[in-house]
């Protein structure tokens, strides 16, 4: 009888040990899975940013290494010059950005001269596109809209002060700067992580837009200013899509001679166009059908 009780006690002890070992193994497996997930998260490649030079070898530098240009000839002098500049410390992403900026200007010129879109010139949409590259589209559009709202409110307030031009613009910059500062301070609560890590460069580019927006409001009407602002934003987003296309970045970097000459040819062709713009054809289609 005592032998049976002893056997039962031994069996219970073994079950307890097996259960404890199973729990310990499960705990170790969970810890290993967590560590693996953390390691995987740490090795996740960062987002490529053309506006920030990299200390380590970037994707574009690896693209340059993938193609051998050979000896210097009149057909590859830019390719050789780019590789020597990168080897001496010039960031490849900066070179690509400088080469794609004229391409964006071609796109904006075509959109205005051929299609008929209006905007704040050519330089402003292109610069806003560069700011979007640095901030990301979501944060960039939020800053864009926020700055314009603050600028409009500031103009309403400054009407009553009746200040001269320069003090009025200085006060406008004060309003816009305080608005952007408030948005940055509230960004942790608004879940805008991109705005937390943003640097001063894209902010200054977007703040400069406020002066242009107010000048358009003064010389025209609020409706015209809003229409031009919306089309400027559209052109900036299209330019951002072009500049952020990796295949196009790599093609421009590997074929700089063709890219540079193509931009010149496109500029000349756009300038030679003297017909009705596309939006004008749509607007006056009934007259054209007669």
How would residue 3 be classed by pLDDT, with cut points 50, 70 and 90?
A: very low
Q: Does residue 263 surpass a pLDDT of 90?
A: yes
Domain positions in the chain are 1-44, 77-289
CB 107 within 8 A of CB 220: no
Q: pLDDT tens for residues 142-195?
A: 888 888 888 888 888 888 887 887 888 888 888 888 888 888 888 778 777 667
Contacts of 161 (CB under 8 A, 6+ apart): 168, 171
CB 45 within 8 A of CB 78: no
pTM of the model: 0.72
Phi, psi of 55 (to 5 degrees): -80, -40
Q: pLDDT tens for residues 220-250?
A: 777 888 888 888 889 999 999 998 889 998 8
CB 106 within 8 A of CB 235: no
Q: What is the reported pLDDT for 71?
A: 80
H-assigned helices in the chain: 2-42, 59-65, 77-87, 92-110, 123-135, 137-161, 165-190, 193-196, 200-219, 222-243, 246-254, 256-272, 278-283, 285-289
């Amino acid at each position: 009888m005592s032998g049976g009780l002893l056997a039962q006690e031994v069996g219970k002890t073994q079950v307890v040990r097996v259960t404890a070992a199973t729990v310990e193994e499960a705990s170790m497996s969970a810890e290993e899975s967590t560590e693996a997930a953390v390691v995987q998260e740490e090795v996740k490649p960062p987002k490529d940013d053309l506006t920030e030079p990299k200390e380590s070898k970037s994707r574009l530098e690896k693209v340059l290494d993938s193609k051998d240009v050979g000896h210097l000839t009149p057909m590859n002098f830019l390719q050789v010059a780019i590789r020597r500049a990168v080897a001496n410390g010039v960031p490849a992403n900066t070179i690509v950005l400088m080469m794609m900026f004229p391409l964006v200007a071609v796109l904006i010129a075509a959109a205005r001269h051929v299609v008929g879109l209006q905007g704040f010139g050519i330089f402003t949409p292109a610069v806003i596109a560069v700011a979007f590259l640095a901030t990301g589209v979501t944060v960039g559009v939020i800053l864009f809209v926020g700055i314009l709202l603050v600028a409009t409110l500031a103009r309403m307030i400054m009407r009553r002060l009746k200040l001269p031009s320069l003090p009025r613009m200085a006060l406008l910059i004060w309003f816009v700067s305080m608005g952007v500062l408030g948005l940055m301070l509230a960004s942790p609560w608004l879940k805008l992580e991109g705005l937390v890590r943003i640097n001063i460069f894209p902010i200054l580019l977007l703040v400069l837009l406020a002066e242009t927006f107010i000048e358009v409001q003064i010389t025209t009407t609020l409706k015209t200013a809003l229409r031009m602002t919306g089309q400027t934003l559209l052109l900036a987003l299209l330019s951002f899509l072009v500049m952020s296309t990796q295949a196009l970045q790599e093609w421009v970097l590997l074929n700089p001679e063709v890219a540079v000459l193509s931009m010149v040819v496109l500029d000349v062709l756009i300038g030679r166009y003297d017909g009705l713009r596309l939006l004008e054809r749509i607007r006056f289609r009934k007259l054209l059908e007669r």
